Structure 1
Amino acid sequence: MIPTGSSPPRRFPALAAPPDAGPYGGGMREHSRPLAVFDLDGTLADTAHRAHFLESRPRDWPAFFAAAPDDPPLAEGVALARGSADECEVLYLTGRPERCRRDTVDWLAAQGLPDGRLLMRRGDDRRPARRTKLEALERLRRTRDIRMFVDDDELVCDDARRAGIRVVRADWAVTPAALRDAQGRTGRT
């Protein structure tokens, strides 16, 4: 069963999908169906094997993102995304930088996840995920019903819930402290 929700819109310039058509990139959308919005890291993808790149100073961001194609899928999140596709248009909202698009699209396809738009962070945007993702959700709500938003980041989930968005907190994976800090403070994922 898929939950429902609503809230006032705001402008969101930070995350964007390119205008090209095709799976995970854009193109035609079914505006009559509600959206099921999924985060990637810690929700669909298990990042534990690459968290060590964020534990040292300076953090090794290039290596962290280069290892993303090897992320094991998180079964609970993958099942929820697949099940949501029956009633909703699936959309992926990630704090990964745009330069990771090809690897991310390939990973989504390899996991057999439903086709859907992929919204990614611009390379120069270092704002916290709780700000960029909420802005993206509010922008989406201007024209679409968001049936549910699924994310592992507690701060993002709390802000989305306060904004009136139906949230499913992805608590099926342990988010390493270094990744939590990166999401909340350094605006990198």
Structure 2
Amino acid sequence: MTHRPLALFDLDNTLADTAHRQHWLRRTPRDWPAFFAAATDDPPLGEGVALALRNAEDGDVGYLTGRPERCRRDTLDWLARHGLPPGEVWMRPDHDRRPARHTKLETLRRIATHREIRHVVDDDEQVCDAFEAAGFTVVRARWATPSATLKDAQQRAGRT
């Protein structure tokens, strides 16, 4: 079976607007269970969703997220509810706290051993830099409001 090229999409602040739940990360200590539980209420980001739908016209779409594996059911439900193309979802193991630039690149390299990667769409600049340095084509998702809180969660706390 031949596969069409695969476009991979991040979720948080690429397809899903996390602004309404970031307050859970500004607390000390951060309330990670509440932050992830609130993801079910994320509004979709129109520009990211439109890009995913366009990619599905002549290729396959998948999702490469730093969300923990325990969020899989809610994530799959969210993708379906917002009309995103079906595709495989790669998630962070529940107890892996490494920065997203490491966990996602490791997963991307594994996927690329058996799939042609069209491009990867992500909002995290450090993740995008790591993907590009490894030779992958990147679309930088700059349509969500930048968030220092989310950036810290992605890079320092290793949680999303």
TM-score of the aligned structures, taking structure 1 as reference length: 0.83
Name the residue aligned to 1:62: 33
Name the residue aligned to 1:52: 23
Paired with 1:42 and 1:107, the residues of 2 have a C-alpha distance of 14
Q: How does 1:96-115 map to 2 (within 5 A)?
A: 96-115=67-86
Shift, 1:31, TM fit: 4.1
Q: What number of residue pairs does the alignment pair up?
A: 160
Kindly provide the CA deviation profile for residues 105-139 of structure 1, in whole angstroms up to 9, marking residues without a partner as x: 10000000000001111111111000001111111
Paired with 2:43 and 2:91, the residues of 1 have a C-alpha distance of 20
Moved over 2 A (4+): none
Name the residue aligned to 2:116: 145
Match for residue 134 of structure 2 among 163, 167, 174 = 163
Paired with 2:68 and 2:126, the residues of 1 have a C-alpha distance of 20
Contact 1:53 1:63 in 2 (8 A): yes
Contact 1:48 1:175 in 2 (8 A): no
Paired with 1:92 and 1:178, the residues of 2 have a C-alpha distance of 22
- Which segments of 5 or more consecutive residues in structure 1 lack a partner in the other structure? 1-29
Higher relative contact order (CA 8 A, sep 6+): 1
Read off the aligned partner of 2:43 and give its amino acid letter: P
Paired with 2:49 and 2:40, the residues of 1 have a C-alpha distance of 16
Of all paired residues, the percent bearing the same amino acid is 66
Greater per-residue helix proportion: 2
Name the residue aligned to 1:184: 155
Read off the aligned partner of 2:87 and give its amino acid letter: G
Paired with 2:118 and 2:111, the residues of 1 have a C-alpha distance of 11
Read off the aligned partner of 2:158 and give its amino acid letter: G
CA RMSD of aligned residues (A): 0.9
Kindly provide the CA deviation profile for residues 136-176 of structure 1, in whole angstroms up to 9, marking residues without a partner as x: 11111111110010000000001101111000000000132
TM-score of the aligned structures, taking structure 2 as reference length: 0.97
